[in-house]
Amino acid sequence: MSAETNDPLAWLVTLEGVPSAYAAARDGIDGVLRDRGLRRTTPETTGESLLRGAHASAVLEGSTSTLAQVRSGDGDEIARDSVHLSTELLSLAPTLGRSPLQALARVHALAARGSVDDERLGRPRDPESAARLRDVAAVLTSTTDAPALLVAGLVHAELVTAAPFASHNGIVARAVERLVLVARGVDEKSLIVPEAGHLALRAAYESNLRGYAEGGAAGVHAWTLYAAEAFAAAAEASPLRRSAD
C-alpha cells in the first residue's frame, strides 16, 4: 500500500478507470439494495447471504463441500470453520472502525479455533506480519476520500498476500472485506455476497491476487479494477436477486 501521509489511498482514485468502475459497482449494489424497500427483508435474508458467502469463501480456500452440504451442516472442516466465522462476523463491525487490530485478531480466532493452537489464534506469525497488520489497521482508521468499496478490496488483497496469520488467511481476508462494507454503510444488513463474486470470477481473482503481490503499482491497479467487477458480481449473488440454491 502507498505510504502517503494525508490520504493513503488518494493515488488509487486517480488511476485510469478506477473512479468510473467504482461508481458503476456502487450503483449496481445500491440498485439491488433499493429492492429491499419493495419487499420486507428479514434477518433470515442476511443469514442466507452470510451462508452463501461462507460457502464461497471456503471453496476458494480449498473446500470441496457443496452449498447444500454446508446448508445442512455436512460440510468439510474448512466449510465449518467458514460458517462458524460467519455466524459472529457482523458483531465485529463496530470494533473494526474503533480497534481494527482487535477485530482482525478476533476474525482469525473465530475462523481458526480448533484448527491451530490457542496461543496462535489471532496472533501474527512474525514481526513482519505484525507490521503488515498495522499497515492494514492504519488504512482502516485513516481519513480517505476513496470509495468504501475500494478500501474493502484493498484490505482484502493486503490480508491475502501478507498471510499474517498461521492459517485461514483467505477466509479472514474475505470476511474482513464483507465487514468493511457493513461498517462503512455500503451494505449495512450484509445482503450482497462478495465472496460469491470472487468465486464466480475465480481465475481472475487468483491471477489478480498474484499480480497484486508481485506486480508493483501495475498489479495494484489491475487488482483495483478487478475488485470493482467482483463487487458487481457480489450484488448479483445477493439472495435479494436469487432464490436459494
Give the pLDDT confidence score for residue 120 in this predicted structure.
96
CATH classification at residue 127: 1.10.3290.10
Model confidence pLDDT, tens digit, residues 160-215? 999 999 999 999 999 999 999 999 999 999 999 999 999 999 999 999 999 999 99
Q: Is residue 3 part of a domain?
A: no
Give the pLDDT confidence score for residue 2 in this predicted structure.
45
Q: Is residue 4 part of a domain?
A: no
Instruction: Report DSSP letters for the chain, one per residue.
Output: ----SS-TTHHHHTSTTHHHHHHHHHHHHHHHHHGGGTS---HHHHHHHHHHHHHHHHHHTT----HHHHHTT---HHHHHHHHHHHHGGGGHHHHHH-HHHHHHHHHHHHHBTTB-GGGTT--SSHHHHHHHHHHHHHHHS---S-HHHHHHHHHHHHHHH--SSS-HHHHHHHHHHHHHHHTTSSTT--S-HHHHHHHTHHHHHHHHHHHHHSHHHHHHHHHHHHHHHHHHHHHTSTTTS---
Instruction: Determine the structural domain holding residue 127 and report its residue range.
Output: 10-236
pLDDT tier at 3 (50, 70, 90 boundaries)?
very low
The percentage of residues in the chain with a pLDDT greater than 90, rounded to a whole number, is 92
Q: Is residue 64 part of a domain?
A: yes
What would the mean pLDDT of 47-52 be, rounded to a whole number? 98
Q: Is residue 93 part of a domain?
A: yes
Q: Is residue 202 part of a domain?
A: yes
pLDDT tier at 42 (50, 70, 90 boundaries)?
confident
Give the pLDDT confidence score for residue 72 in this predicted structure.
96
Q: Is residue 245 part of a domain?
A: no
Give the pLDDT confidence score for residue 14 in this predicted structure.
95
Least confident of 33-37, 92-96, 97-101, 214-218: 33-37
Work out how many domains the chain is built from and give that number. 1
**Would the pTM count as exceeding 0.75?**
yes
